[in-house]
């Protein structure tokens, strides 16, 4: 009943109009700008590249995902861009705005990808590797991270964070269901509709993504769980020497990594701190 309320109550959606889209972008920019002021609580190393918020352009909005990040230009001529897809406003509830902005923007993909591009300690090809469990695991971890420093004050917004995490948890079931258990497309759509507050269009898009990209959507939650596991390990071993900023710098300081290499990197960080 609560999921149904969140799907359908008009208070959770901007108007499907030019004014509604402008209002969405204004609030998204405010969320990003507020988080910019708190990055020093979470990181020692900040990217030189700035980040901007834009609506997905008309020529590609119908086929594009609901939100995504574009990396800054290597030469500094273009900032990183957090794109929000405002083609279908019912797919962009205001209660998910915080979590979406943190994932696609800061402290999510912008921190990770812009810092990676600016590293001078790794060869060029490693700056552009894309290990999905690392990249999207970090994105999902950074939806949760702002909760720890006082964000998501609105309970509905915090529900949005939890709903997005629930969506990623359901992916583990549906991706496995389709590729290992021989679920039909209809079985998979029904599972999402029953177990998440997302609208039917979201459910169909996600199932079609699973069908053509086995394992891709599963990687988000797997990566997040590994980062949280490594953080618990660092906290346990370092005790009062543990600093969240040092931990995040260690995660991001070598560019994208397979999870076993990330674990080696965190082990080295723990030993160095000791």
142-200: per-residue pLDDT in tens? 999 999 999 999 999 999 999 999 999 999 999 999 999 999 999 999 999 999 999 89
Structure pTM? 0.95
Round to whole Å and give the CA distance between 155 and 141.
19
Round to whole Å and give the CA distance between 151 and 47.
22
What separation, in Å, do the N-terminal and C-terminal C-alpha atoms of the chain show? 51
- 3 Cβ contact partners less than 8 Å away, ≥ 6 residues apart: 196, 197
Per-residue pLDDT, 65? 86
Q: Which of 10-14, 60-64, 124-128 has the highest mean pLDDT?
A: 10-14
| Per-residue pLDDT reduced to its tens digit, 221-246 | 999 999 999 999 999 999 999 999 99
Per-residue pLDDT, 104? 98
Q: Does residue 142 or residue 7 have the better pLDDT?
A: 142
Beta strand spans in 13-148 (E): 51-55, 67-70, 80-84
Per-residue pLDDT, 63? 87
Round to whole Å and give the CA distance between 227 and 262.
9
Residues 137 and 219: beta-carbon distance below 8 Å: yes
Per-residue pLDDT, 206? 95
| Residue indicated by tokens 């997302």 | 198
In this prediction, residues 46-54 reach a mean pLDDT of 97
Q: Where are the domains of the chain?
A: 2-218
| Residue 221 backbone zone (phi > 0: left; psi -120 to 50: alpha; other: beta) | alpha
């Amino acid at each position: 009943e609560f999921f149904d309320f969140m799907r359908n109550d008009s208070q959770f959606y901007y108007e499907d109009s030019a004014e509604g889209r402008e209002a969405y972008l204004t609030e998204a920019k405010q969320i990003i700008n507020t988080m910019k002021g708190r990055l020093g609580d979470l990181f020692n190393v900040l990217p030189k590249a700035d980040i901007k918020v834009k609506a997905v352009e008309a020529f590609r909005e119908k086929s594009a995902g609901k939100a995504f990040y574009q990396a800054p230009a290597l030469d500094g001529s273009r900032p990183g861009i957090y794109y929000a897809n405002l083609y279908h406003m019912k797919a962009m509830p205001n209660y998910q705005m915080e979590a979406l902005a943190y994932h696609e923007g800061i402290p999510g993909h912008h921190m990770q990808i812009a810092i990676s591009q600016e590293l001078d300690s790794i060869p060029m090809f490693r700056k552009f590797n894309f290990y999905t469990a690392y990249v999207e695991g970090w994105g999902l971890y950074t939806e949760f991270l702002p909760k720890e420093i006082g964000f998501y004050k609105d309970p509905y917004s915090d529900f949005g964070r939890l709903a997005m995490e629930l969506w990623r948890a359901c992916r583990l079931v549906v991706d496995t269901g389709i590729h290992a258990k021989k679920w039909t497309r209809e079985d998979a759509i029904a599972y999402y509709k029953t177990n998440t507050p997302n609208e039917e269009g979201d459910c169909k898009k996600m199932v079609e993504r699973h069908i053509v990209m086995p394992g891709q959507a599963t990687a988000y939650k797997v990566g997040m769980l590994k980062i949280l596991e490594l953080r618990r390990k660092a906290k346990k071993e370092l005790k009062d020497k543990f600093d969240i900023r040092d931990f995040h710098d260690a995660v991001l300081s070598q560019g994208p990594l397979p999870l076993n290499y990330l674990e080696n990197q965190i082990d080295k960080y723990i030993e160095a701190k000791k």
